[in-house]
Amino acid sequence: MTLTQKILAAHSGLNEVKPGQLIEANIDLALGNDVTAPVAIKEFDKLSMKVFDRSKIALVPDHFTPNKDIKSAENCAGMRRFASEHNIEHYFEIGEMGIEHCLLPERGLTAPGELIIGADSHTCTYGAVGAVATGVGSTDLACVMATGKLWFKVPAAVKFTLKGKPAPYVGGKDIILHIIGKIGVDGALYQSMEFAGDGIKYLSIDDRFTISNMAIEAGGKNGIFPVDDVTMDYLKRRVEREYKIYEPDSDAQYSAEYEIDLSALLPTVAFPHLPSNTKTVDEAGEIRIDQVVIGSCTNGRISDLRIAAEILKDKHIAKGIRLIILPGTQEIYLDALREGLVEIFVKAGAAFSTPTCGPCLGGHMGILAKGERALSTTNRNFVGRMGHPESEVYLCGPAVAAASALTGRITNPAGLESCI
């Protein structure tokens, strides 16, 4: 069995599972946000049941918070009521919250070998720590909150063997954009994206979160990394409960296998209107931009902010550019404050925000007008994703985003000095 299949088998009480098999599995953590949880709560209330385990449910209002309008305020009020009535242990209000997929690992709520579902497609982020994590619908979330169980069709797997050491300014975002550009947005449709190889040791835990986060952009059911010293170093400061580490069988079967030479990759940009429409930054040409966003569940971690600050220090963004920076959590916000990153950003002309999903889904804090272009470290660039249907979104990593904010056009950070 593959790594994902082993974890699914263990949570189903089975010795073995096979691709395509239907199973019922026990869930370790169920997640909802202020867009999806209100629907789940409405359906849950119809069941007249208690939650299966108040310590295994996490509710994070992060998409339209701080509340942008009356509807978002009502959604959050409903979540607050539900959390209070059922004494939900992991309810995170603004001021204590963060972007859900940055917050839950930081709080030690995700661990190796666990099975995690969330009513958000980017729940697959937690595969970075060796968990099977996947997005579900709101009605599925309602049933899990009541029973602690959910059915699955066991996925086949695609194996990605990573080798070599990435060059400077090449990070997790560039790696996953390269992969999606290679296999397409349906290249791993309903399959587990399983990562292996010696190149993994060069990837920080934040790189792995970014790569796992965008497994869904390749159609994947989940993305998952093996547990190594980097993982353990991250977990030892956060996870106190017992967990089990799984490894794939040496004879595990994969529907496809790819080898990625990380040393050969360049900073990569996804052009409108698909994450698979990729070019290296040197192939981008003269693309003028109006707005740059650094943050989101994909690239709102402290290492992302450090990279951006390194490039922006003692410089100022180009005239006419709006630079919006959104840290993933309050802890990341404080780290950025202590390290002087916030001062660098503000002096460079950026707006530094409280943690929120904000502009990623066209919610608030950076909506695009007709004809405007944004360069963003978020995960999707579909038509109208960040505002007007005739606006454009380009995806990239934090290094390219910061460099481009200084020049007003998509720019390779490696050659920045000659561009300013």
Domains of the chain: 3-261 (3.30.499.10), 267-418 (3.30.499.10)
Secondary structure element (H or E) that encloses residue 348, with its range: helix 341-348
Q: What percent of the chain has pLDDT over 70?
A: 99
Instruction: Read off the pLDDT band of 78 (50, 70, 90).
Output: very high
**DSSP letter at 387?**
B
Q: Write down the pLDDT at residue 419.
A: 66
Q: Can you read off the two tokens belonging to residue 256?
A: 């496809």
**DSSP letter at 120?**
S
pLDDT, mean of residues 7-28: 98
Is residue 418 predicted with pLDDT exceeding 70?
Answer: no
From CA 212, how far away is CA 261, in angstroms rounded? Answer: 18
pTM value is 0.94
Q: Residue 46: CB partners within 8 Å, gap ≥ 6?
A: none
Q: What percent of the chain has pLDDT over 90?
A: 92
Convert the pLDDT of each residue in 213-246 to its tens digit.
999 999 999 999 999 999 999 999 899 999 999 9
Classify 371 in phi/psi space as left (phi over 0), alpha (psi -120 to 50) or beta: left
Is residue 70 predicted with pLDDT exceeding 80?
Answer: yes
Residue corresponding to tokens 């001021």: 95
**DSSP letter at 122?**
G
Q: Can you read off the two tokens belonging to residue 194?
A: 């399983």
Q: Write down the pLDDT at residue 94.
A: 86
Per DSSP, the three-state class of 30 is strand
Q: Write down the pLDDT at residue 415.
A: 79
Convert the pLDDT of each residue in 99-138 to its tens digit.
999 999 999 999 999 999 999 999 999 999 999 999 999 9
Q: Write down the pLDDT at residue 420.
A: 63
**Of residues 358 and 172, more confidently modeled:** 172
Question: Please, are residues 407 and 319 in contact by the beta-carbon 8 Å criterion?
Answer: no
For 146-267, strand residue ranges (E) read 149-153, 156-163, 191-196, 222-224, 256-261
Give me the residues paired with residue 286 across strands.
Answer: none
Q: Write down the pLDDT at residue 84.
A: 95
pLDDT, mean of residues 298-313: 97
pLDDT, mean of residues 356-385: 92
